[in-house]
Amino acid sequence: MRLDGKTAIVTGGASGFGAGIVRKFVAEGARVIVADIDGDAARAMATEVGAEAVQVDVGEGDSVNRLAAEARSIFGVPDILVNNAGITHLPKPMEDVTEDEFDRVLRVNAKSVYLTARAFVPEMKARGSGCILNVASTAGVSPRPRLNWYNASKGWMITATKAMAVELAPDGIRVNALNPVAGETPLLKSFMGEDTPEMRAKFLSTIPLGRFSTPADMGNAACFLCSDEAAMITGVAMEVDGGRCI
């Protein structure tokens, strides 16, 4: 029960890595809001694990503000905010990514971190405590070809994490990131371009431990970084990647 008595919001919490984080947080005693653009999926996940659900578009300011207002009515200012929601473009030469694709990736992967900070940081500052966890990627550390602007968005998130950590430390707010390698999530096919045994083998050959990141792996790492056991850890981008970035 490492998160007993804590409250948490997990964006993109209805599936993939976000669902793994939600399950772990609930199992460790946290009261959790599953925040997802798919409201039905969020409600289904919340019902399954015993959490709350809020539909949100993390790239839209008014929607994020509504999430903050609903969270306030459910349990007040969250102790933990997990910016997990993310998307990618399909693998292609950088110059072939359309402007709409570029804008969508940066809107969800980068602008969302700004919007949630704007919505939640002031009240965390007033309370004098808080924990923010950004789900970045090994792509922000060791970029893969043909995912250029996705790589860049995750590099942005890593830098944002460090900048936030430095600025918010005097206010008692810790900010860290997780860098997973590709995992068994709805985004896996988008990363690979096609989900075939040959393509999976090619991806796995770059991971020394020989497997993808799992939602449970992410839940375990997130639980540690958001628990009081990590009280002296801020500004870290922890790789959960089976050695991919070595």
Going across the sheet that includes 237-240, the strands are: 52-55, 31-36, 7-11, 80-83, 130-135, 173-180, 237-240
Of 16, 17, 12, residue with least CA distance to 34: 12
Cα 104 to Cα 82: distance, rounded to the nearest angstrom: 20
Among 150, 133, 152, which residue's Cα sits nearest to residue 221? 133
Active-site annotation, residues:
150
Residue 114 one-letter amino acid:
Y
**Which contacts of 91-99 are long-range, i.e. CB under 8 A and separated by 24 or more positions?**
91/146, 91/147, 91/191, 91/192, 91/193, 92/146, 93/146, 94/146, 94/148, 94/149, 97/148, 97/149
In whole angstroms, what is the distance from residue 117 CA to residue 7 CA? Answer: 17
Query: Quick check: helix, strand or coil at residue 215?
Result: helix
- All residues at 6 or more sequence positions from 235 whose CB lies less than 8 Å from its CB, including other chains: 161, 162, 165, 166, 175, 176
Q: For residue 25, what are its two tokens?
A: 């947080």
Residue carrying the six token digits 């900010």: 175
